[in-house]
Amino acid sequence: MTTKPLQVDNLSFNYGALQALDNVSFSIGASTCVGLLGANGSGKTTLFGLLTRLLSAPSGSIELFGRSLNQDPGSALKNMGVVFQQSSLDLDLSVEQNLNYHAALHGMDRKFARQRINEELARFKLENRAKDRVRHLNQGHRRRLEIARALLHQPRLLLLDEATVGLDFETRQMMNAHIRGLCETDGISVLWATHLIEDIERDDNIILLQSGRVMAQGVCGLLLETHQMTNLQALMQRLSAEGS
């Protein structure tokens, strides 16, 4: 049986009396891009906190490529790249210095790190900005840099938490197409949290999260047909009403 890049089973989490996640289960297959959809407060950020071990799950299990995140976090996390909603770039370092620092944190050989930095700078069309301080980049270029950094150590699973929020429509389209292309060109899997449902296409795999619960998951177009809905917004509203 093929080991899935990400397997989440019966995951729950509370902030005191507030239940942020309620028995969440899903999996992501190899070379697959999955959109995690939900309004603000639906539990997406809490889920990402658990997947990256910023939070500890009191119940349920998370496995990355067959390795338990609780029992073997080092081995599990080494195959993961993450772009959080809040930027973690050092604004006073250059583009190149930010990437070198990430490479050092992952113990990458200097020669190999240089090769990978050049490859990612070229991929994201940042070669001419390598020496520029990050504070001089616009928001779109900063997001490109953050994704390039997350891919630097060649992870097999990429987590994106609202990575395109705040970008103009044209830049968002470019980034979305690029993220989908990573699954085909690099064979990686992507879990992409967003509340921008206009970025979702009918062929996309999606997970709909509402009030900490998985309301539906599958191919967007098939879910719309099954529930006899014409658009994703209407589907989310119906499922929200049914689940309340």
**pLDDT for 113-172, tens place per residue?**
999 999 999 989 999 999 999 999 999 899 999 999 999 999 999 999 988 887 888 888
pLDDT of residue 243: 64
Q: Are residues 177 and 237 in the same domain?
A: yes
Domain limit, last residue, from 117, 136, 154: 154
Q: Are residues 71 and 168 in the same domain?
A: yes
Structural domains counted in the chain: 2
206 located within any domain = yes
Q: Are residues 114 and 167 in the same domain?
A: no
Q: What percent of the chain has pLDDT over 70?
A: 98
Residue 65 has pLDDT above 80, yes or no: yes
- Read out DSSP for 73-108? HHHHHTTEEEE-SS----TTSBHHHHHHHHHHHTT-
**Residue 164 contacts residue 199 (beta carbons within 8 Å):** yes
For β-strands 33-37 and 205-210, DSSP reports them as parallel
Q: Are residues 67 and 163 in the same domain?
A: yes
84 located within any domain = no
Q: Are residues 226 and 167 in the same domain?
A: yes
pLDDT of residue 244: 58
Q: Are residues 120 and 210 in the same domain?
A: no
pTM of the model: 0.92
**Span 18-64, pLDDT tens digits:** 999 999 999 999 999 999 998 888 999 999 999 999 999 889 999 99
Distance CA 99, CA 79 (A): 17
Domain limit, last residue, from 154, 182, 204: 154
3-state SS, residue 138: coil
Residue 242 has pLDDT above 80, yes or no: no
Q: Are residues 170 and 228 in the same domain?
A: yes
- Read out DSSP for 8-75? EEEEEEEETTEEEEEEEEEEE-TT-EEEEE--TTSSHHHHHHHHTTSS--SEEEEEETTEETTT-HHH
The CATH number for 195's domain is 3.40.50.300
Q: Residue 81: is it exposed, middle or buried by C-beta count within 10 angstroms (0-12/13-18/19+)?
A: buried
pLDDT of residue 2: 64
Element (H, E) at 185: helix 169-185
Structure tokens at 36: 């995690």
3-state SS, residue 202: coil
Q: Are residues 39 and 63 in the same domain?
A: yes
- Domain of 118, in residue numbers: 90-154
Average pLDDT, the chain: 92
Q: Are residues 122 and 45 in the same domain?
A: no
Fill in the amino acid letter for 78.
Answer: K
Domain limit, last residue, from 104, 133, 154: 154
Count CA within 13 A, CB hemisphere, residue 53: 16
Q: Are residues 114 and 69 in the same domain?
A: no
30 located within any domain = yes
